[in-house]
Amino acid sequence: MGQLGIAGLAPGKFYSAAERLEKARALAPDNDQIYYLIGLLESNRGRPAEAITALKKAVELNPKNLRGIYLLATEVERQQNETNEAEVQRLIRQILSVQPDNLAALLELARIAAKRGDAETLHSTIAQIAAQSPGWPPEVQQQLSQLQTAAAGPDPRSAATRVTFLRNVLVRVPKYRQGLAAIKPPPGDEAIPFTSFLKLESPTFAPAVADTGLSFAPQPRANIKNGQGDWAAAIFTGSEGAPVVVVANSREVSVDGGKTFPFPGGAAATVPAAGILAMDFN
């Protein structure tokens, strides 16, 4: 049901997706990924209250569901009030408790701290960002410097815009993109397919024990002589019994047991000619 729900997350299929995800939730009520998908669905169809409820449950079940935490923070911030901004800051800190060096999350924390006028959090977060800056391109370093200047000013709220400018140029830095992918998947990849059963026991796979006693004894075949064959294969001539060895060259086909079939060129042709011989091995 979860996979079918994912398939229905496209616009125009929300109703069928909701039905399938609700059935999946009833079958696996303790699975955080299902609640994340429900939250994603409700967000996509413009129902923020229902999205927040589902995402809170996902995060409650799995405090390390980073995509769920970030989507929840996004939905909460859309409500636009001071209480919600404090909750957004708390949620971003929760992401950083799992991935302390996540550059994308650090920028989000700096942005929301600046927006709230939380100078202490803003300064400490910018220091963490700057610690990762060696090796960044000059234009990125320039935006970081301007952010530091804005944060040091009398009104830390003005630094929120500078965070956005820094984020725009940081997209070219691989570590930023890695951190962003951990919390916010690219458009179209928000729904992660299930890779294991939720109710059934997942089978375990293991290679067979090595058969160290197995050996092969090469044996000469009467129809294989030095220089005679250009092609050889073992072919089953029926549904029972062992396969027979068939050898062929440009003049004839020889079957294990002595039977030989000439090609159209003939066995006595002066110049060997490639040909096709129709055969029913059975």
Tokens encoding 201: 């026991």
Residue 181 token pair: 């992918």
pLDDT at 260: 80
* DSSP character string of 201-253: PPPP--PPPP-TT--------TT--TTT-SEEEEE--SSSS--EEEEE-SSEE
Alpha helix (H) residue ranges in the chain? 2-7, 14-27, 32-44, 48-61, 66-77, 82-98, 103-116, 119-130, 138-151, 159-170, 174-183
pLDDT of residue 3: 41
* Structure-block tokens of residue 209: 């024990």
pLDDT at 86: 94
Q: For residue 254, what pLDDT is reported? A: 81
Provide the pLDDT for residue 23: 85
Map out the domains of the chain as residue ranges.
Answer: 2-183, 222-276
The pLDDT of residue 241: 82
Residue the block writes with tokens 């589902």: 54
According to CATH, the topology of domain 2-183 is 1.25.40
Phi, psi of 259, rounded to the nearest 5 degrees:
-75, 135
Collapsing DSSP to helix, strand or coil, 259 comes out as strand
Q: Are 103 and 166 in contact (CB under 8 A)?
A: no
Query: Is the full-model pTM beyond 0.85?
Result: no
Split the chain (282 residues) into runs of 10 and give each run's mean pLDDT: 42 64 86 91 90 96 96 92 90 97 97 95 97 95 96 92 96 95 84 70 84 83 62 82 81 77 60 58 61
Is 88 in contact with 116 (CB distance < 8 Å)? no
pLDDT of residue 21: 86
